Copies of this chain bind each other. A is one copy, B any other.
Amino acid sequence: MYKDEEGATVLYFKDDMTGKDGVFDPGENQVGLTVEGSGIVGLEMTTYFFEKLNAAGIPTHFISSVVDNRLMKVKKVSVFGKGLEVICRFKAVGSFYRRYGAYVKEGESLPAYVEVTLKDDERQDPVINKSALDALNILDTESYDEISALTVRISQLIKDELSKKGLDLYDIKLEFGRDEETGEILLIDEISGGNMRVYKDGNYIEPLKLNEYFFDK
């Protein structure tokens, strides 16, 4: 992250991916592996989705990007606490299934279920509910409701985009921040294969393969 000549914030997309012990996992926070070209692939997808979202009137931090240079110009934002992840689930898989497997079959449909986790590797990104976020002064209940509603809208839009390509979105991980100038809540970070679990006819689609369904090479 750096500033351009006009003082705007610019993000540089590296080739790092989240995971553990060299295996990609969207549920992980830490860098687990480096794949050459993954930065460009991530920015290409991110640009595609952010432009769709901005066009739909959803507030995001995205201003513009130059994919080949791996650069994305964004609004300056503050995160909530030390950072939150907001997950929207359409299928019961991953940590949701591990927690609630007594009540749900793996892969069962969920109605755009939203949950929030703290970005805290040391404590394995614990799930946190609305009243705890409020009690700990991380996020007030009004902002929680706003983020929760935005998450459903954004996730549904992305699900629909994937659906047009014959792809199923199982779950997606979003991040939000507050515009430092206007105070508005914005979708931040990136939105690419690395943030979601996507399937086609029941088969998992690797994050870096997602672009092939959207862009000609």
Which residues of chain A have a CB within 8 Å of any CB of chain B?
Answer: 81-82, 96, 98-104, 110-111, 113-115, 118, 120, 122-123, 126-132, 135-138
Contact = CB atoms under 8 A, between A and B. Distances in A.
A110 B111 CA distance: 32
A136 B100 contact: yes
A123 B98 contact: yes
A101 to B, nearest CB: 7
A160 to B, nearest CB: 21
Contacts of A100: 118, 123, 126, 128, 132, 136
Contacts of A135: 110-111, 113
A131 B129 CA distance: 10
Contacts of A120: 102
Contact of A131 (B104, B114, B136): B114
Contacts of A123: 98-102
A103 to B, nearest CB: 4
